[in-house]
């Protein structure tokens, strides 16, 4: 008798959110990192007003990618260290539910970082980023990052080099997502038609999600 | 001993010898590669606009498809390993990555040599060039991932998963000139992007030299190399088995 999928997923999400509310470890680290990254970029690139417009979406997404790598590493490593993963494996729940639960949790945490970044970068770079369409793009982009990232982080958390391996494994694989998401963001900011690109972005998300759903059970097997 | 058997290793400790079929294939590949070279270099006529440098295309595009052949073999090996847990499928996946990566690097190198006179640069951050480089990095990451896992069963499992995920970058490289219209890389099949530099007419003359080389570099060479690589892996397994036996005595 296994617990139904949705119930399990919600339970895992609730667990992650509660742990996060009490420790405030993940989101605070990621937000702090994101702030630093945005500042470092603005110094490193010595942006003038025109250059800002062009690179701001790149800065946004590079920062989000690195922040999500940071969060994913912690999220899955903690689960291993504290025996959470073992407990979930013993529990009579579908393996897919573990993936979905962890994935949605990571998605929410990175989304918070993104939602902090949008108004902040609007102020710092003087480019209007607080738009409904950009928030939709943000959600879809972060969803894709979490979908493939949770799968890969579950693997790299079990390797010898751990934290160092996730960026190496993840960065090349998310290039398709990054390419599309940057295209959406720049078309929105340039005021062009972007709905077609949103479709492509959703397709990439769907591919990552399916890969994660199908392959995750092999990754956590002992 | 039970630990060794659970690792799915062959029970025999004899060094496997290559079958005749493999030798025939190898000799055929060597002969055909030489013939393909002659076709590309001497039989095909010189391009009107680009001159002799255009001949490198006969190796450039086929070697990409050879890489794709290897990476598809990795996906097949990965899926079958996850299904059956037989080591031989993982050996196929590993061979596919190594051979595919080598051919992908040949693809990059020949492209670079061609681009020097045609684009006046060795490298440019064009969409397709970048994605081809990313594809190489993905498979380099595959090899690093394998190196980072000590437990052989887990290593095979993770490598299978990553090998399946990694094919997305190869597919992206294939389709990117259709979705990024600003690419300067010419398309061989169908219309080239608007900004493509260095496209040439796909004449009968081109097809005559491309056809054989496509089969040679796209199928024969990767197939032969993958086969040899699997045999090498089998030998490694036998050596490991003997080592384990010697230690247990």
- Indicate the domain borders of chain A: 5-220
The predicted model gives A6-33 an average pLDDT of 90
Mutate to test the interface with B, among A144, A155, A177 (most CBs of B within 10 A): A155
* Domain extent for B96: 19-241
Taking contacts as CB-CB distances below 8 angstroms, the residues of chain B near A168 are 141, 144-145
Contact A218 B161 (CB under 8 A): yes
Q: For residue range A140-174, what is the model confidence (pLDDT) as tens digits?
A: 999 999 999 999 999 988 888 778 889 999 999 99
Residue identified by tokens 């902040």 is: A120
Mutate to test the interface with A, among B148, B151, B156, B175 (most CBs of A within 10 A): B148
Indicate the pLDDT class of residue B4, thresholds 50, 70 and 90.
very low
CB B26 within 8 A of CB B224: yes
**Residue A160 near chain B (CB below 8 Å):** yes
How much is the pLDDT for B160? 94
Q: What percent of chain A is predicted at pLDDT more than 70? A: 98
Contact B157 A200 (CB under 8 A): no
Half-sphere exposure of residue A150, counting CA atoms within 13 Å on the CB side?
31
Give how far A210 is from chain B: nearest CA, Å.
Answer: 11
Q: What share of chain A is helix, strand, coil (3-state, %, to 5)?
A: 85, 0, 15
**Residue B11 near chain A (CB below 8 Å):** no
Q: For residue range A87-141, what is the model confidence (pLDDT) as tens digits?
A: 888 888 888 899 999 999 999 999 999 999 999 988 888 888 888 899 999 999 9
The predicted model gives B78-98 an average pLDDT of 94
Residue B237 falls within a domain, yes or no?
A: yes
Q: Rounded distance, CA A204 to CA A14, Å?
A: 27
Residue B97 falls within a domain, yes or no?
A: yes
How much is the pLDDT for B194? 66
Q: Rounded distance, CA B41 to CA B121, Å?
A: 23
Contact B165 A148 (CB under 8 A): yes
Q: Rounded distance, CA A18 to CA A116, Å?
A: 20
How much is the pLDDT for A138? 94
CA B31 to chain centre: 20
Q: For residue range B22-56, what is the model confidence (pLDDT) as tens digits?
A: 899 999 999 999 999 998 888 888 887 788 888 89
User: Structural domain tally of chain B?
Assistant: 1
Taking contacts as CB-CB distances below 8 angstroms, the residues of chain A near B144 are 165, 168-169
Indicate the pLDDT class of residue B15, thresholds 50, 70 and 90.
low
Does A186 have pLDDT greater than 80? Answer: yes
């Amino acid at each position: 008798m296994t617990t139904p999928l949705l119930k399990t997923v919600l339970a895992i999400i609730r667990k992650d959110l509660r742990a996060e509310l009490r420790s405030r470890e993940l989101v605070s680290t990621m937000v702090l990192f994101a702030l630093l990254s945005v500042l470092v970029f603005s110094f490193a690139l010595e942006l003038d007003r025109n250059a800002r417009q062009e690179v701001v979406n790149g800065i946004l997404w590079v920062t989000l990618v690195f922040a999500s790598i940071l969060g994913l590493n912690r999220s899955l490593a903690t689960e291993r260290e504290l025996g959470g993963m073992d407990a979930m494996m013993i529990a009579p729940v579908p393996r897919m539910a573990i993936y979905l639960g962890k994935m949605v949790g990571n998605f929410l945490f990175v989304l918070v970082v993104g939602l902090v970044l949008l108004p902040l970068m609007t102020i710092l770079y003087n480019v209007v980023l607080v738009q409904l369409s950009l928030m939709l793009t943000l959600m879809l982009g972060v969803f894709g990052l979490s979908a493939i990232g949770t799968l890969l982080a579950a693997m790299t958390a079990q390797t010898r080099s751990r934290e160092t391996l996730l960026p190496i494994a993840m960065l090349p694989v998310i290039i398709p997502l990054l390419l599309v998401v940057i295209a959406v963001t720049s078309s929105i900011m340039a005021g062009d038609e972007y709905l077609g690109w949103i479709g492509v972005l959703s397709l990439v998300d769907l591919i990552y999600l399916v890969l994660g759903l199908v392959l995750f059970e092999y990754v956590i097997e002992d | 001993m039970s630990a060794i058997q659970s690792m799915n290793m062959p029970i025999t400790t004899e060094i496997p010898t290559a079958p005749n079929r493999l030798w025939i294939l190898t000799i055929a590949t060597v002969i055909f590669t030489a013939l393909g070279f002659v076709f590309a270099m001497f039989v095909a006529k010189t391009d009107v606009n680009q001159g002799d440098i255009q001949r490198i295309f006969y190796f450039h595009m086929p070697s990409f498809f050879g890489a794709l052949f290897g990476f598809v073999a990795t996906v097949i090996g990965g899926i079958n390993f996850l299904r059956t847990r037989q080591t031989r499928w993982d050996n196929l996946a590993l061979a596919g990555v190594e051979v595919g990566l080598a051919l992908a690097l040949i693809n990059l190198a020949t492209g670079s040599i061609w681009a020097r006179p045609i684009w006046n640069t060795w490298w440019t951050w064009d969409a397709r060039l970048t994605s081809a480089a990313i594809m190489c990095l993905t498979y380099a990451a595959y090899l690093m991932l394998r190196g980072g896992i000590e437990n052989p069963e887990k290593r095979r499992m993770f490598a299978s998963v990553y090998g399946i995920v990694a094919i997305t970058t190869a597919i992206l490289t294939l389709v990117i000139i259709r979705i990024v219209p600003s690419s300067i890389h010419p398309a061989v099949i169908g219309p080239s992007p608007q900004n493509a530099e260095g496209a040439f007419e796909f004449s009968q003359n081109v097809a005559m030299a491309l056809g054989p080389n496509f089969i040679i570099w796209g199928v024969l060479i990767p197939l032969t190399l993958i086969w040899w690589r699997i045999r090498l892996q089998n030998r490694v397994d036998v050596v490991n088995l003997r080592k384990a036996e010697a230690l247990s005595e």
